Amino acid sequence: MKKLLALIACLALVAVMASGCSGGGDSGSEFTSIKLQMSTTVGEASNASQMCKLFAEKVDEATGGAVKISVFPSDQLSGGDMTKGVEMLTTGGTDCAFEPVDVLAALDERLLTLSVAWTFDSYEEAESLLNGTAGDFISTCLDAKNLHTLGFIHNGMRQLTNSKRAVTTPDDIKALKLRVPGGEPFMRAFTDFGADPLTMSFSELYTALSQGTVDGQENGYDLIYNNSFHEVQPYITEWNYSYGAFALVVNNDTWNKLNDATKKVLEDAAAEVCRTGCQNVVDSESTQKEEIIKYGCDVTTLTEEQIKVFQNILIDTGYYDYFYEEYGDHAFKAFGIDISALKG
């Protein structure tokens, strides 16, 4: 009997040790078994929010349900507070996110080099840089802040909307109270134009526009249309003044809990989702613009000559020189920005 009891005890010990060797909740499967929370600043209908859902679906399918990702749009996890949302990402309160690069710039202001006015001519140029030197630069900056970068999608070329009048000249924009992201390239540009820029959480923006707390805002067509800003903003100025992107990031502590097979699934899913997300923006903008015009909005597309008037203001105020000194030559080169050409 003693030998039998000893044998049972040994078998139990082996079973315990075997279960402990699976590590990170693998439960004996090929993939790490884990539940993740994923956030994004923008509303549920927006492209980035839809790409969060697609990412979660692809990861769930590829891991046979081992990795479950719950998606929370509109900064729900941080109570609508974008700054708190970024902090939660770095500390692990949120596991992963699709967040605008200009929002993540709260961690490293050099990321705002991406937002300097009129530095990108096309989505093709932007995507090439994000898949190259710009993406490497952003990833390095975020890794130092405990975030692992999996890819990027377009946020869009930013257009101006307002409830007061068509904007074609600097005189038209003067004194307009405009919500802009908190980054200095946005604030300084609109200040130089003579507007009255202010910041607020994206989740509060529609209410502020509909109640007249602010006169206008600036975002790409995807966010303008899918958040129904055009319903309360009859005037839209198409001028592509700044390019925006979302970064797909994972908290490094969460990332390190995953085994190699699981990491590979997330990387593959991210690559596919980012290709889809970029193409969605490119493909949908003309349709969204048409729908906005059908709704009754006045969409004014500025000519190169009209845009140059605004650019000359920024040159004269030292806008480009300031950000070149602030963010550095390395950042400007990583984002493919030629300071001499900007001022030429």
For 177-228, the pLDDT digits (tens) are 999 998 999 999 999 999 999 999 899 999 999 999 999 999 999 999 999 9
pLDDT at residue number 342? 87
Task: State the CATH number of the domain containing residue 231.
Answer: 3.40.190.170
Q: Specify the number of domains making up the chain.
A: 1
pLDDT at residue number 23? 36
Element at 266 (helix H, strand E): helix 260-295
pLDDT at residue number 182? 85
Kindly state whether residue 175 falls inside one of the protein's structural domains. yes
Residue 114 pLDDT exceeds 70: yes
Kindly state whether residue 74 falls inside one of the protein's structural domains. yes
Q: How far is CA 284 from the centre of its chain?
A: 18
pLDDT at residue number 8? 41
Q: pLDDT tens digit string along 290-323?
A: 999 999 999 999 999 999 999 999 999 999 999 9
Kindly state whether residue 98 falls inside one of the protein's structural domains. yes
Expressed in percent and rounded to 5, the helix, strand and coil fractions of the chain are: 55, 15, 30
Q: pLDDT tens digit string along 216-273?
A: 999 999 999 999 999 999 999 999 999 999 999 999 999 999 999 999 999 999 999 9
pLDDT at residue number 92? 96
* Gap between the Cα atoms of 74 and 244, Å rounded: 18
Name the pLDDT band for 26 (thresholds 50, 70, 90): very low
For residue 118, which of 304, 333, 289, 331 has the smallest C-alpha distance?
Answer: 304
- Residues in the chain, total: 344
Contact 179, 260 (CB under 8 A): no
Q: pLDDT tens digit string along 43-87?
A: 999 999 999 999 999 999 999 999 999 999 999 999 999 999 999
Amino acid at 320: Y
Kindly state whether residue 249 falls inside one of the protein's structural domains. yes
Kindly state whether residue 2 falls inside one of the protein's structural domains. no
pLDDT at residue number 28? 54
Task: Return the number of other C-beta atoms located less than 10 Å from residue 79's C-beta.
Answer: 10
* Average confidence score pLDDT of the chain: 92
pTM of the model: 0.89
pLDDT at residue number 137? 98
Contacts of 216 (CB under 8 A, 6+ apart): 160, 161, 162, 163, 164, 176, 177, 178, 179, 209, 233, 235
Residue 159 pLDDT exceeds 50: yes
Boundaries of domain holding 120: 33-343
State whether the Cα torsion 20-23-25-29 is positive or negative: negative
Contact 264, 242 (CB under 8 A): no
Q: Which one-letter DSSP state was computed for residue 303? A: P
The mean pLDDT of 115-140, rounded to a whole number, is 97
Name the pLDDT band for 343 (thresholds 50, 70, 90): confident
pLDDT at residue number 192? 98
The mean pLDDT of 116-145, rounded to a whole number, is 97
pLDDT at residue number 4? 40
pLDDT at residue number 25? 47
State whether the Cα torsion 322-126-301-178 is positive or negative: negative
pLDDT at residue number 18? 37
Kindly state whether residue 7 falls inside one of the protein's structural domains. no
pLDDT at residue number 29? 75
Contact 238, 218 (CB under 8 A): no
